Structure 1
Amino acid sequence: MEVLQDYQRCSGQLVTISKSCFLSHGKSSPQLVSRVRKLMGFMHKSFPIKYLGCPLFVGRKLKSYFSDIIDSVGGHIQWGARWLSFGACIVPINSVQASLPRMCLPKEASGVGFRSLRSISIAFACKLWWRFRQKSLLWAQFMHARYCQTMHPNQVSFKASSSTSWKHMLSIRGVVEYFLLWDLSNGSCSFWRDNWTGMGPLAWKFPTLASSALVGEFWLGDHWNLPLLRQIVPPEICALAGCTFLATGKSSDSPLWPF
Structure 2
Amino acid sequence: MAKAYDRVSWSNICLVLRKIRFDEVFIDMVWRIMVNNWYSIIVNERRGPQVNHMSFADDISLFTSGRCRTLKILMNNLKEYENTSGQIINGDKSHFMLHSNAFTSTRHRIKRLTGWQDKQLSYGGKAILTKHVLQALPIHLLSAATPPKTILKQIQMLMADFFWGWNSDRKKYNWAYWRKLSFPYDEGGTGMRNLKDICKAFQLKQWWNFRTKKTLWGAFLKAKYCQRSNPISKKWNSGDSLTWKYMLMNRPQIEQQIQWKLQAGNCSFWWDNLLGSGLLAQFTTTNNRFNNSKVAEFWEAGKWSRSRFFCWSRHQPACSPKS
TM-score bin (small chain)? 0.3 to 0.5
State the TM-score, normalizing by the size of structure 2: 0.38
Structure with larger Rg: 2
Quick check: which one's helix share is greater? Answer: 2
Query: Which structure: greater strand fraction?
Result: 1
Q: TM-score, normalised by structure 1?
A: 0.46
